[in-house]
Amino acid sequence: MPRTKFIAGNWKLNLTVEDGVALVQGLAKVVKPGVEVAVCPTALALYPVAQAAKGSAVGVGAQNAYWEEKGAFTGEISASLIKNAGAKYVILGHSERRQYFGETDATVNKRLKAVLAQGLVPIVCVGETLQERQGGQLQAVLKRQVEGAIAGFTPDQLKTLVIAYEPVWAIGTGVVATTAQAQEAHAFVRGLLRASLGGLADSLRLQYGGSVKPDNAKELLGQPDIDGALVGGAALKLADFSAIVAAAG
């Protein structure tokens, strides 16, 4: 069964509530069925953007979720609150969370459990730094991150799992992994999933992230194991993001 292409925009710490609403309203007018599309605004914009997207082909996601449902956890947002705000997706384990905020494979695993318990679609990010790639550690890093994230889960629990391969050295740098490099990493990740989850691996979507732009999207998305993109900077501009979505169609 062919895998539906999935393009998600990670707005990171960008766009006011008003700007986010305007962007998703513009997207809703141009996105057509056939490609799964989501935007992931800041937490403050989550509810208004979800309201603006309601009834359209654009889904909405959060950029992170805490593993506890409620309690004395100042500044955190639970999966149930994310769901209540109208979101369907959650990004987990982004390299910026790992680099700046102490995210580990173990905490990604805990967050994944909480997100799945609420019926949300997880986008789990994995990827190596430039130093790790140059040191020949690509496969070891991906193996540790993928296996760490899904440890303890059954295939049945992970039917909605999305993995986003993002080479850290290509995020926001303008440098893009070559098509061959991206496909090689995606094929390796799918092999890891197959070893852990069996045949389910062939139906799970793998996204590429790392300076995806309109001029490179079609070639990347044409690779056999690349089923979509997690888009950063280009997701902040209606024309650019729309063009990437169109390249997936």
Q: How many domains does the chain have?
A: 1
- The per-residue pLDDT of the chain, averaged, comes to 96
Nearest CA-CA partner of 50 in 71, 30, 68, 27: 27
Range of the domain at 139: 6-248
Site of tokens 């950063």: 232
Residue 94 annotated to the active site: yes
Q: How confident is the model at residue 175 (pLDDT cuts 50, 70, 90)?
A: confident
- List the one residue out of 150, 123, 127 whose CA is nearest residue 230: 123
136-153 pLDDT, tens per residue? 999 999 999 999 999 999
DSSP 110-122: HHHHHHHHTTPEE
Tens-place pLDDT, residues 223-239: 999 999 999 999 999 99
Residue 156's pLDDT is 97
Is 132 inside any structural domain?
yes
Task: Quote the percentage of the chain above a pLDDT of 90.
Answer: 93
Residue 182 placed within a domain: yes
- Residue 133 falls inside a structural domain: yes
What is the crossing angle of helices 179-197 and 138-150, to 10°?
A: 40
What is the per-residue burial (b if ≥16 Cβ within 10 Å, else e) of 134-152?
eeeebeebbbebbebbbee
Contact of 192 with 147, CB cutoff 8 Å: yes
pTM of the model: 0.97
CA distances from 13 to 125, 157, 158 (A): 17, 31, 29
Render pLDDT for 185-200 as a digit per residue (tens, 0 to 9): 999 999 999 999 999 9
Residue of 103, 128, 166, 186 marked active site: 166
Q: How confident is the model at residue 1 (pLDDT cuts 50, 70, 90)?
A: low
Residues above pLDDT 70, as percent of the chain? 100
- Inside any domain, residue 69: yes
Tokens linked to 104: 């580990």
CATH number at residue 90: 3.20.20.70
150 inside domain = yes
Residue 1 lies in a domain: no
Does the pLDDT of residue 173 top 90, yes or no?
Answer: no
Q: Based on the residue annotation, tell me whether 186 is a catalytic residue of this protein.
A: no
What's the rounded Cα separation, in Å, for the pair 229 and 248? 9
From 94, 103, 128, 186, active-site residue: 94
51-55: long-range contacts at Cβ-Cβ below 8 A with a sequence spacing of 24 or more? 51/86, 52/21, 52/24, 52/25, 52/28, 53/24, 53/27, 53/28, 53/86, 54/86
Cα 101 to the center of its chain, rounded Å: 18
pLDDT of residue 242: 97
Note whether residue 235 is domain-resident. Answer: yes
Answer whether 34's CB lies under 8 Å from 7's CB: no
